[in-house]
Structure 1
Amino acid sequence: MLKDKLNNLIPDQEKGNRKIVEMRKIIFDSVWAQRKYTNRNSLSAIIYVFVSDCDRKELAINAKKFSCHPVFRTRKCTTDGDSSHCCMIFIDELGRVYKNWKTYLANNELPSGLMIAPLNGIYTTDYNGHVQLEVHPTPNGSAAKQLLGVADTATAVAGFGAATIPLAAMMMTVAPALITGAGAVCATTAAYSAIRSLCNLVDRKKHEQSIGLDNSQARNAWIGVGAGVVGVGASRATNVMTRAAAAGKEISLATELLVNGMNISSIVLSGTGVANGILDLLIKYRDDEEVTSMELVQLAASLVLFTHSVSNFRMASTLVNDTHSATIQDYRKSLSNRQRKIFDKMSKETIRIKGAQQGKVDIIRGANDMPSKQYLNDLYKINKKLNEAKVRPAFGAAGEGVVLNNDVAVNTNDLRNNLQHNKGSSVLNSVTKPIPTTHSEVNAVSNSKLLIVNVNNKGDSSAQPSAVAIGMGSIVLPNNILISLSEYGTRLYEIIANTGSFDDIITTMADAFSQQTFEFLMKLAQEFVETHLEKIRNTIKIFIPAETILYRIFLYVENNCASQTYAFLHTKKQEILRSLNIYFNSLNPNSYLNKIRCDICGGSYSICNLQDFNYAQL
């Protein structure tokens, strides 16, 4: 029934039905989840709130132009079984859940203007029979929200502008001051977007909206938070490394990998944000939906972070390489001609077998570990013998000093004494590996593609079975069973809530059972209504429709009766009636085991688990 109400409340349109279906589902899930306060019963009603762009309350009440917004009200707190003056839950058309009417008035997402609503969110009348109303400005019309909108727009414009600077710097010379200013705007935009996105996630969680990645707004917010935090961190790390390099400090490989990793993470996150943001804009354009300032801020932040992260990554890689080269050149200048000759040979060999990046790191580390430079003199003296033995010296990894054929670490003084003066054991005999092959260093830039798969889920809609006439006369069911409705009294038909559902259940029962069994079960429903229902309704204070009673009877017989003949079911009559009593009494929203006192209204409520209960077991 709730789904039928939503279908009528939000009907299909000529286009954009995907969004309509999604909206119905979100509202249904939010309303259905509130059964936790009413022992798994859905006690809800619909009110309507109107928004006018008038600036005075008197004009708003009589406005001819307005927007209409449905709001679901569900029960939460009670005082002695009465909920008249207690807290009620309100769910708006976005599926946002508000814990009471005051919270709805203060935090709703209605458009800017004056809202006209039933007094306290409940339809009541005055002595003249007029509906009592209240008028309030919507939160989106407040000065704070207007100022926030201006800040969003300004930040988005600044972010889009700053995103172009790194792109321009890749193609032409840009003034350093402009690059510095763009970096400051990037950090500000990213921080602002991250804070706004985080606040958005907190607000969605507070109002029981989805914060999962399957929701576009929540996904944008998560990307905004992640890209903002990682992007700002990567930018600051790059700046720190830049200052360290400018001061002549050695940049360790671990630091380089860390900074590059942060920049790559920022590129991935912000690039995902750009792709996701553009895709959402295209979908909104297709569905004629309005783009919010928050979405523009998130897109601008993702774009500016993406361009700056790419620039930072390129700069960090170039910076480290330039710093290494400058350090090596400074060291080389301090050498004598002989030392420089053997140093160049070792440097070339180190880079050949280890690659430029790792090779330069090992050269700098080796030079720092051997400050006396005597190792170069030793190697120069025995260079010819090393060539004859097909052994090449190179700088080793951390702590290895000089290595031969990238295999054996040696003390150059011992090596020289051994080769020149035959002192000690033969060092060259310990070198078993040939001259190592050249390092295969490939610097490739892969262009990742965002694959967008558009999946259209087409479901076949089955038509509702045609309804038989509901009345007190005789009707013929589709299986040609003739039944006289007057035989089952009037009480059963007075509590029909939905004629279509009633038609469905009696048609199903007529198809499933013999005519004698069908008539027996209808009589059983009549007896339950006339002898048991009033007491149950007075206890649980819930309207129980006829179609629900018949459905519970049908379900019990299908699940619990081995034989469905009239003779067998007649012996189960009291058992079926007892099962109906147990089931409907279990719906009592007032039968709480652990009541919680409400600090707002003074009433009480309880929360049940909607997952661990199976009605079919009753």
Structure 2
Amino acid sequence: MVAPLNGEYTFDENGNVNLYIKPTRKSVKKMRTVLEVQQDFANNSGFKKEIIWDLLSKEQSGMLKDKLNNLIPDQEKGNRKIVEMRKIIFDSVWAQRKYTNRNSLSAIIYVFVSDCDRKELAINAKKFSCHPVFRTRKCTTDGDSSHCCMIFIDELGRVYKNWKTYLANNELPSGLMIAPLNGIYTTDYNGHVQLEVHPTPNGSAAKQLLGVADTATAVAGFGAATIPLAAMMMTVAPALITGAGAVCATTAAYSAIRSLCNLVDRKKHEQSIGLDNSQARNAWIGVGAGVVGVGASRATNVMTRAAAAGKEISLATELLVNGMNISSIVLSGTGVANGILDLLIKYRDDEEVTSMELVQLAASLVLFTHSVSNFRMASTLVNDTHSATIQDYRKSLSNRQRKIFDKMSKETIRIKGAQQGKVDIIRGANDMPSKQYLNDLYKINKKLNEAKVRPAFGAAGEGVVLNNDVAVNTNDLRNNLQHNKGSSVLNSVTKPIPTTHSEVNAVSNSKLLIVNVNNKGDSSAQPSAVAIGMGSIVLPNNILISLSEYGTRLYEIIANTGSFDDIITTMADAFSQQTFEFLMKLAQEFVETHLEKIRNTIKIFIPAETILYRIFLYVENNCASQTYAFLHTKKQEILRSLNIYFNSLNPNSYLNKIRCDICGGSYSICNLQDFNYAQL
């Protein structure tokens, strides 16, 4: 740290400024574990046991491309490869619309790979690589895709017909892979992400043995290639030449078989096998050069032995053998040129194995986040820690204790604000290890309500306070109110119920306050729908709006509280109080009267934030006036538009169903080429 001495700019006798210099401790960013990162992904991309999908119509391909641009951002070098990677993934994901009636039904999961050798160590590893995988829907049973085959597309654009196939055939680096259970982000009843751990295929003994064989064959091939060169300049023993020929034939045959297997594998996983793809081109050249090379070598040996035996060699035979050798030269030469060109391109793009791993890791963490970009970790870390501590304390309480604890917590946050309120809640609970104070307050709760007195957690050392004024001993208070023992405690409470802290309701520039008041003891990491519905906000015109006025059904289908807060805040900023209330009531009516029928038709989960966003978008784009009087006349039009929009995204085809031999579900395949619906 460098600052003016004593906070003022002064100069010494030589005219130099006097400075205060002090070394500061270098902050070290805490490394996060695989489990912590996967928990964040589950909180932002999952919703309890629901299977969450991103539903795009065939006209919304640009949204998928934008998502890929965020997932795989441009780099300082090698952007040609990045653009190619995006295109390959897009083509593979977009092609799966054939199973979902031309609409895209997809989601992103993340698979982590650690070089640990034990499951417990892998889950808690802090050094790992991160690999995005797209999941798309294929089979259904009565419209439900649970326990059915889903298509998975990895970062290479490889397509796997189900989760088991992905686990067995992926191209992840050697190690243990940590993935969402069954390839779906779900949480248990405690809100913890459900994961599974498996060794990657490249870490298996068979793959390692194959790698050794590849290396040995390559070394032998390079060694054998030097023998003919040496024979041109010096005398080489015939046995050595014969041995080199055998190695050459073996290497060519091995290369052809490996290249053919590679092409079959690419075809199986819907990767390009055209010559415009460098990997496929290398494989085709390998197959062609190997087959022609081995054939030419065998033909030459046969002709040589025939000539040595004194047999007559026809001109046609000579032309055939020479033609085979020329073809082998052309193909192998093309392979050498193509290989060198690929090396030069990789060198130009500064591509290395470790560099690509870093590129892949950067592509997984920047989104969803809207993701991660939706976490706002720095701003929510303290709040999340406090909330988790309070939830742990709540879990230890009985139902009666939890009821009065929730009441006190809500009152504490209401009068002190979220940050200070949660601090006082935690401190108060720690200062009173016995939970008898909750039993005392529960017994006299009715009398406190009649006296218009509310208990809350006080500041440090105060314990329980009444109306944020008088600190009390709950046992004395109970004896006084129930048994008339001692002097009247309530007479000492002179102040009325305190006003609400300004932080609680101000949302025009901040998040809505979410207070968990679920009395059922659900300790899910995601706030309960009822708790969210009981929150309140203040619009920019300082009018208080109670969200509980719009029913609970709307809040039971909130998948992402951050996105819900964003759209509510946006609507509050954009519209007047009357318009805001009307649109919220409109959303409530849609959910309560239309949503169930739509969900039964399209068979997917539609969250509340998506419904509100579509209402907001329709009003912004289609309504010349946004006054309550005008929008009220457009009510049925807006509802009709919502019905049309969500039904248009129906991923279910009414073509002939095909029964899946793997999962027992069914699927249909439609033609992805555009056609005229009027012809139906």
TM-score > 0.5, shorter chain as reference = yes
Inter-CA distance 295–16: structure 2 relative to 1 (3 Å threshold)? closer
What is aligned with 2:47? none
CA distance in 2 between partners of 1:430 and 1:443 (Å): 30
**2:176 paired with 1:114:** yes
8 Å contact kept, 1:540–1:589: yes
8 Å contact kept, 1:109–1:139: yes
What is aligned with 1:542? 604
Inter-CA distance 73–359: structure 2 relative to 1 (3 Å threshold)? closer
Q: CA deviation at 1:9?
A: 1.2
8 Å contact kept, 2:71–2:367: no
Q: CA deviation at 1:437?
A: 119
Larger deviation, residues 507-516 vs 361-370: 361-370
8 Å contact kept, 1:238–1:316: no
How high is the sequence identity, in percent, across the aligned residues? 100
Structure 2 SS opposite 1:468: helix
Inter-CA distance 148–423: structure 2 relative to 1 (3 Å threshold)? farther
Give unpaired runs (5+ residues) of structure 1.
none
8 Å contact kept, 1:156–1:300: no
8 Å contact kept, 1:211–1:218: yes
What is aligned with 2:66? 4
CA distance in 2 between partners of 1:64 and 1:578 (Å): 51
Q: CA deviation at 1:275?
A: 0.4
CA distance in 2 between partners of 1:255 and 1:325 (Å): 85
Q: CA deviation at 1:284?
A: 2.2
8 Å contact kept, 1:190–1:305: no
Inter-CA distance 197–398: structure 2 relative to 1 (3 Å threshold)? farther
Q: CA deviation at 1:146?
A: 0.7
Q: CA deviation at 1:337?
A: 128
Larger deviation, residues 443-452 vs 477-486: 443-452
Larger deviation, residues 499-508 vs 3-12: 499-508
Inter-CA distance 220–481: structure 2 relative to 1 (3 Å threshold)? farther
Q: CA deviation at 1:249?
A: 1.7
8 Å contact kept, 1:509–1:518: yes
Count of residues in correspondence between the two structures: 618
Inter-CA distance 529–460: structure 2 relative to 1 (3 Å threshold)? closer
Inter-CA distance 439–585: structure 2 relative to 1 (3 Å threshold)? closer
> Per-residue CA shift, 1:327-346, capped at 9, x if unaligned?
99999999999999999999
8 Å contact kept, 2:114–2:177: yes
> Per-residue CA shift, 1:151-187, capped at 9, x if unaligned?
1011001111111112222233222111111110110
Which structure's relative contact order is higher, taking Cα pairs within 8 Å and 6+ residues apart?
2
CA distance in 2 between partners of 1:336 and 1:494 (Å): 25
8 Å contact kept, 1:52–1:67: yes
- Say which one has the larger Rg: 1
Say which of 80, 86, 89 aligns to 1:18: 80
Larger deviation, residues 195-204 vs 247-256: 247-256
Larger deviation, residues 247-256 vs 487-496: 487-496
> Per-residue CA shift, 1:314-373, capped at 9, x if unaligned?
999999999999999999999999999999999999999999999999999999999999
Inter-CA distance 218–66: structure 2 relative to 1 (3 Å threshold)? same
8 Å contact kept, 1:75–1:89: yes
**2:89 paired with 1:27:** yes
Structure 1 SS opposite 2:636: helix
Say which of 277, 281, 284 aligns to 1:219: 281
Inter-CA distance 557–109: structure 2 relative to 1 (3 Å threshold)? same
Larger deviation, residues 269-278 vs 570-579: 570-579
CA distance in 2 between partners of 1:109 and 1:481 (Å): 57
8 Å contact kept, 1:496–1:547: yes
Larger deviation, residues 176-185 vs 349-358: 349-358
Larger deviation, residues 135-144 vs 367-376: 367-376
Structure 1 SS opposite 2:310: coil
Structure 2 SS opposite 1:543: coil
Larger deviation, residues 93-102 vs 355-364: 355-364
CA distance in 2 between partners of 1:252 and 1:407 (Å): 115
8 Å contact kept, 2:368–2:374: no
CA distance in 2 between partners of 1:312 and 1:536 (Å): 28
8 Å contact kept, 2:115–2:174: yes
Say which of 389, 404, 416 aligns to 1:354: 416
CA distance in 2 between partners of 1:410 and 1:241 (Å): 109
Inter-CA distance 430–486: structure 2 relative to 1 (3 Å threshold)? closer
Inter-CA distance 531–225: structure 2 relative to 1 (3 Å threshold)? same
CA distance in 2 between partners of 1:548 and 1:481 (Å): 25
CA distance in 2 between partners of 1:74 and 1:352 (Å): 44
Inter-CA distance 607–335: structure 2 relative to 1 (3 Å threshold)? closer
Structure 2 SS opposite 1:526: helix
Larger deviation, residues 465-474 vs 329-338: 329-338
Inter-CA distance 55–495: structure 2 relative to 1 (3 Å threshold)? closer
Inter-CA distance 7–350: structure 2 relative to 1 (3 Å threshold)? closer
8 Å contact kept, 1:77–1:605: yes
Inter-CA distance 119–174: structure 2 relative to 1 (3 Å threshold)? same
CA distance in 1 between partners of 2:383 and 2:593 (Å): 91
> Per-residue CA shift, 1:371-422, capped at 9, x if unaligned?
9999999999999999999999999999999999999999999999999999
TM-score normalised by the chain length of structure 2? 0.52
Give unpaired runs (5+ residues) of structure 2.
1-62
TM-score normalised by the chain length of structure 1? 0.57
CA RMSD of aligned residues (A): 39.2
8 Å contact kept, 1:275–1:450: no
CA distance in 2 between partners of 1:396 and 1:478 (Å): 31
**2:526 paired with 1:459:** no
Q: CA deviation at 1:122?
A: 1.1
